[in-house]
Amino acid sequence: MKNNLIHRRLAPLWALCTAALLAAPLSSNADLVIHPKQVGAAVDFGQIQSGYADGVKLERFPITRTGVYLTAGGTYDQKLEILVTTGGLFWFPVPNKGDPVTRTIKFGPGVGQAQAIYSFGPAGEPTSKLQMGLFPIKYSDAHNLGEYLYRSGAYPGYVVTGGWSYVNSASYLAQGARYTVPMFGGKVVHDFTATLERDWEPANDISPGYNLTVKPTKFLEFGAGVVWAHGIQLRSNKKISPKTEINAYSKTTGMPVEGAEAYGIKDSAVYVIPGDPNSGFVGIIQDTSAREGQTLRDWAACQAGDCSNIGYYTFRGFKGAVRASVDIGSLLNSEAIHTGDFKVYGEVALLGFKDYPFYYDDKLNRMPMMLGLNIPTMGILDRFSTEVEYHRTRFRNTIYGVNRERVPVPITISSEDGSNAYAYIGQKNEDDDWRWSVYASKKITDGVTLTGQVASDNQRQPDFWGVSSDEPATALTKDWYFIVRLDFGLF
C-alpha cells in the first residue's frame, strides 16, 4: 500500500521524464558536439573577525580554502545537452580545536553539477526546457543574501547563505527536475521544479515548486514563487511530524511541552502541579503558572492515552517569495554604465504560510527581507554590490533542532552563558535581526578574476567531518568576516 501511494504521488514526475525521453529519439544522422573542457581553481584568503562556531568564540580566525574543478559536456542533435562538473576543496575545520588531527587541513571531492538539459521545439528556438539531475537554481540578482525559496526551511524558518563557496554563491544546488517554459519572447517565464530534500533532515522528500518571472521592459523585472517543502513525502509521517515530547504542544494553552519543563519542571513519573488534587502528592516540587501546569497536564493525559489536547509541529509547509528589480543604468542610456551596473533589487519571503502555536504564531517573524544595490564604478570594477537583510524573529537562525534532534522547532544548543535551549521563551532576540554584505569583482585578464566579500551573513562553517555548524559563524549583526578570492582557469 505504501509503495503504491508513493508511485501515485510520483506519477506526474515519471510522466514528465518519460515524455522527455520519448521526445528525444536516437538518430544515426544526429550530430554530437563535445564542448571544450573548462579547468580552473580558486584560492580564498580571509578571516572571521568575530563570531562563534558550535559555542567556540572566533576572533581573527583564518578561513583559507583552495578549490579545483573540471567541467565537461556535449550536445546531441542540438537538443540534448549533458554537463558534468567535478572537483575538490581543501578547507580548515571550524572551530579549530581538540586533537591535532582535527585541526589540520581537510580535502573533500564533490560534484558541482551533473545534469541533462533537453530542449523542446525547433533547434535554436526551444519552446521549453527540461533539466534533470544535479543542477544550480538561481532566480534573482542577489550575490550573497536572498534566494529564499530554495535556501531556507519552512518549519523552522532557518535561512542559509554560501556553502562550500563564500563569494557570489547566491544559488541553490538542486537535485531533481526543472521544467522551464518561456512565453512572449522571454518576457514571461514559468519554472516548475521538483527537488529532493537532501541538505538537512528529514532527507529524501520531494518539494514541488513554481517560480514566475515577468520582464515587461528591459529595465524592470518582477517575480514570485512558491515551494511546498516536503510536499511529496517518501518516508513515514513520523519523520515529518515526530510524535515526541520535544515536538509536542498543548492545544489548550498553545505552549510547547518542553518549553513548560524548561521553567523547572522535569520529566518524572508523576507531575506535581500546585492545586492538582489528583497528583497523589502532598508536597510541591515546583511552583509554576496555571498555563505551564495545564500544558504538562495535557501531556500527562496524552501519555496515559488521551492525546486530544496535544498537537505536533511539522516540517511540511509552503514557502513563498516575491521579488523585483529595476535596472537604473538602462534608463540612463550612458556608455559608461553597462546593463546591470546600476540596479536595485529586493526579495521578501514568507517561510511557512500556516500558523502554529508559540513558535510560529506570527507571520512577520517568518518574513526575511533583502534589498540590494549594484553601484556603478565607471569601469574601475566589473561589479560592486551591497546587500542588507532584515529578519525579525525572537529565535536564532539555527538548524540545531533539525539536524541534532530531527524536530521542526527552533531550539538551540546551550548558549554561551550556560542557559538551556528554551531560555528565549518570553525574551526578545534583536541582536541578529540585520545581516549585511558587500561584494566586488574585477577581471584581471582572460581566465583570471579577483573578487572580494565583507559580510555578516548566514554562512555556516564546516567542521573536521565537513558538517556545517548549527548557526552561522557570524550569528550576530556585529560579527563579520572578509574574504578575497583569486579565480583562474582555462575556458
Mean pLDDT calculated for residue range 139-167: 93
- Check: CB of residue 267 under 8 Å from CB of residue 261: yes
* Lowest pLDDT segment from 5-9, 74-78, 394-398, 422-426: 5-9
Considering the segment(s) 35-236+314-490 as one domain, its CATH architecture is Beta Barrel (2.40)
255 CB-side CA count, 13 A: 23
Q: What is the predicted pLDDT for the residue at 491?
A: 73
Q: What is the predicted pLDDT for the residue at 5?
A: 37
Most confident of 132-136, 336-340, 357-361, 431-435: 132-136
- The C-alpha atoms of residue 359 and residue 467 are separated, in whole angstroms, by 26
Instruction: Note the pLDDT tens digit of each residue in 199-239.
Output: 888 888 999 999 999 999 999 999 999 999 999 988 777 88
Instruction: Say how many C-beta atoms besides its own lie within 10 A of residue 45's C-beta.
Output: 15
- Take residue 464 and report the three cell numbers written for it: 573536521
- Check: CB of residue 88 under 8 Å from CB of residue 40: no
Instruction: Name the CA radius of gyration of the chain, rounded.
Output: 25
Instruction: Note the pLDDT tens digit of each residue in 390-444.
Output: 999 888 888 888 888 889 998 876 444 434 445 444 455 678 899 999 999 999 9
* Lowest pLDDT segment from 202-216, 330-344, 448-462: 330-344
- The C-alpha atoms of residue 412 and residue 415 are separated, in whole angstroms, by 8
Kindly report each contact of residues 8-17 with a partner whose C-beta sits within 8 Å and lies 24 or more positions away, as own/partner: 9/232, 10/206, 10/232, 13/177, 13/194, 13/206, 16/130, 16/177, 16/179, 17/132, 17/177
- Take residue 235 and report the three cell numbers written for it: 518516508
Q: What percent of the chain has pLDDT over 70?
A: 84
- The C-alpha atoms of residue 409 and residue 425 are separated, in whole angstroms, by 13
Nearest residue to 53 (alpha-carbon basis) of 480, 473, 365, 383: 473
Residue 98 pLDDT class (50, 70, 90 cuts): low
Answer whether residue 48 shows pLDDT above 50. Answer: yes
> Which residues, 6 or more positions from 268, have their beta carbon under 8 angstroms from its beta carbon?
none
Residue 102 pLDDT class (50, 70, 90 cuts): confident
- The C-alpha atoms of residue 376 and residue 382 are separated, in whole angstroms, by 9
Give the end-to-end CA distance of the chain in Å, rounded to a whole number: 51
Mean pLDDT calculated for residue range 185-204: 91
What residue ranges of the chain are covered by domains with CATH 2.40.160.10?
Answer: 35-236+314-490
Mean pLDDT calculated for residue range 105-111: 89
Q: What is the predicted pLDDT for the residue at 17?
A: 45
